[in-house]
Amino acid sequence: MQDFRVSSWTELHEVLFGDSWREELGRHRSNYAYRGRALADEGLETSLQRLGGDPAGLEGPLLRSFRRYARRGDVPYDSTWNWLALAQHHGLPTRLLDWTYSPYVGLHFATTTLERYDEDGVVWMLDYVRAHELLPASLRDVLRVEGANVFTAEMLDQVARRRRDLDDLAEDDDFVLFLEPPSLDDRIVNQYALFSLISSPDASLDDWATRHADLVRKVIVPAGLKWEVRDKLDQANVTERVLFPGLDGLSRWLRRYYLPRGG
């Protein structure tokens, strides 16, 4: 993958917004998804993999139990992918990873953990349009017919209604696709969220990124730059108050905003 260690707010923007010009549209429209994390050393493991044990063996019971105890009306319609998106959104370990269309939201999650300000953060960038060119033909056909760059649950259901169906499509080569979740709540809307979905629960997105290094950028946000980035994001209204609507988000923002820098 391509590693970028930026040294200024200006350079950070040049990298995050780089290659966004689309000649065919005459517009600046980035094909990258962004994932910000407080620690640069953190890879692209899913929460299901971080749980330990056998991801493939754990995924079924976890999701089945989640569906049994959740309310049927919590998803727009009964789809494995809607349930998986809902579960990920509420903290259940899944094979999904959180991403966003917004580089500023990515930066927020790279700089929101004050306890990590003495360590470098990271914003991962992945070109989901080119990643989808590597998908099995049946999945590429769905995107082509729909004129879309990412999947919805309805689109994915056309080819794979069950988790096992997606696993079977991988054959000998794992793939990754991007799933745009339904508007489950204001938080998922305000975070401009989408999820990566790996073809198998135990497949490694880190390994996939290594094999397709030209599609992935790792943008290091140095510890010494974090305060400047955080202050400018606050001024731009990219805060917990916006990204986590409600009193909890408001309280988290105020606690961080008024904490003395040496605190």
Any domain includes 220: yes
Any domain includes 207: yes
| Per-residue pLDDT at 139 | 97
Any domain includes 116: yes
Q: State pLDDT tens for residues 172-215.
A: 789 999 999 999 899 999 999 999 999 999 999 999 999 999 99
| Per-residue pLDDT at 4 | 95
Indicate if the pLDDT at residue 262 is higher than 90. no
Indicate if the pLDDT at residue 230 is higher than 70. yes
Which tokens hold the place of 175?
């793939």
Indicate if the pLDDT at residue 124 is higher than 60. yes
What percentage of the chain has pLDDT greater than the value 90? 90
Task: Compute the CA torsion angle 99, 248, 246, 180 (nearest 10 deg).
Answer: 10
Name the pTM for this structure.
Answer: 0.95
Q: What is the DSSP string of 47-116?
A: HHHHT-S-HHHHHHHHHHHHHHHS-GGGSSS--HHHHHHHHHHTT---SEEEEES-HHHHHHHHH--GGG
Q: Which domain holds residue 84?
A: 2-185+195-226
Q: Number of folded domains in the chain? A: 1
Any domain includes 153: yes
| Per-residue pLDDT at 260 | 85
Mean of the per-residue pLDDT values for the chain?
95
Indicate if the pLDDT at residue 263 is higher than 60. no
Which tokens hold the place of 62?
């976890």
Any domain includes 259: no
Which tokens hold the place of 60?
């079924």
Residue 5 has φ and ψ, to the nearest 5°, of -110, 105
Any domain includes 67: yes
How much is the average pLDDT of 34-51?
Answer: 97
Any domain includes 44: yes
Indicate if the pLDDT at residue 41 is higher than 90. yes
Q: State pLDDT tens for residues 52-86.
A: 999 999 999 999 999 999 988 899 999 999 999 99
Q: State pLDDT tens for residues 144-154.
A: 999 999 999 99
Indicate if the pLDDT at residue 1 is higher than 80. no
Which tops the pLDDT comparison, 21 or 39?
Answer: 39
Any domain includes 246: no
| Per-residue pLDDT at 189 | 96
Residues 6+ apart with CB under 8 A from 143: 132, 135, 149, 151, 155
